[in-house]
């Protein structure tokens, strides 16, 4: 019996495959990258670990987009090491922290993955990362940042989403897309289902649903909301016995 990642890798390898991995943020960056490429006319095939809000509807899941442009954008999962099934042309590694593995094992896994990338990697790790010295302007609704002298608006709350956007934009620029086209496309991105998703309001109280389940993700979500609201009441649901024990 083939693992689902083996089936996906078999379909994507040999094509213009752009793979996104990392401990945190990979679903957001995958969806964001797919959305940017779609809006810029590249008609990508996208397979993501969570639905893109822009693509969700009653008859559409939102986590898969079938395209005919020859580019595949896939989320490559580190939790089961299935990222090593992929041989992408380009890759993004968002970050690394202890989650399913200890930090040393996680870093070694991402290094092994990077060796399989055939053209180049945009990485959130190390001193040469575009995130080194990154200093966006963050407000309650989103953030603004500069890259190569061009300004971009991220319509999602939190510093972590500014970092996610920077990595997606940086790869688009390395692929040759014009800064203005990327800027316009990014401004229309509505986010990922259950990633700081505002699902309603009751008596002036905003209700936000978020999937954060490890310390780094919970910290990022809290930091995105707490400075801009008088009170935050949070209810956390543990996600899996193993991670709960480890963390």
Q: Which residues of the chain have pLDDT under 50?
A: none
Alpha-carbon distance values, 210 to 35, 217, 240 (Å): 20, 9, 16
The reported pLDDT for the residue numbered 94 is 96
The per-residue pLDDT for 238 is: 83
Element (H, E) at 246: helix 241-246
| pLDDT, position 110 | 95
pLDDT score, position 1: 54
pLDDT for the residue numbered 2: 57
Q: What is the pLDDT of residue 79?
A: 83
Q: For the sheet containing 90-93, what is the strand order?
A: 64-65, 45-47, 71-75, 16-21, 90-93, 120-123
Residue 1, Cβ neighbours under 10 Å: how many? 3
């Amino acid at each position: 019996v083939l693992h689902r990642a083996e089936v996906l890798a078999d379909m994507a390898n040999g094509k213009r495959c752009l793979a996104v991995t990392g401990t945190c943020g990979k679903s957001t960056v995958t969806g964001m990258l797919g959305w940017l490429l779609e809006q810029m006319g590249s008609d990508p095939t996208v397979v993501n670990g969570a639905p893109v809000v822009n693509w969700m509807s009653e008859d559409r899941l939102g986590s898969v987009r079938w395209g005919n442009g020859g580019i595949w954008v896939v989320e490559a999962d580190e939790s089961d090491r299935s990222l090593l099934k992929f041989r992408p042309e380009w890759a993004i590694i968002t970050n690394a922290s202890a989650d399913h593995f200890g930090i040393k094992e996680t870093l070694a896994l991402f290094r092994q993955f990077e060796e399989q990338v055939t053209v180049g990697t945009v990485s959130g790790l190390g001193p040469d990362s575009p995130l080194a010295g990154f200093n966006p302007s963050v407000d309650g609704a989103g953030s603004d940042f500069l890259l190569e002298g061009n300004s971009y608006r991220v319509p999602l709350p939190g510093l972590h989403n500014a970092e996610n956007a920077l990595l997606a934009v940086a790869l688009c620029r390395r692929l040759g897309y014009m800064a203005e086209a990327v800027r316009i496309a990014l401004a229309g991105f509505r986010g990922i289902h259950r990633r700081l998703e505002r699902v309603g309001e009751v008596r002036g109280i905003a209700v936000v649903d978020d999937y954060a389940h490890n310390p780094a993700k919970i910290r990022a979500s809290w930091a995105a909301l707490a400075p801009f609201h008088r009170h935050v009441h949070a209810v956390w649901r543990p996600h899996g016995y193993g991670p709960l024990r480890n963390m």
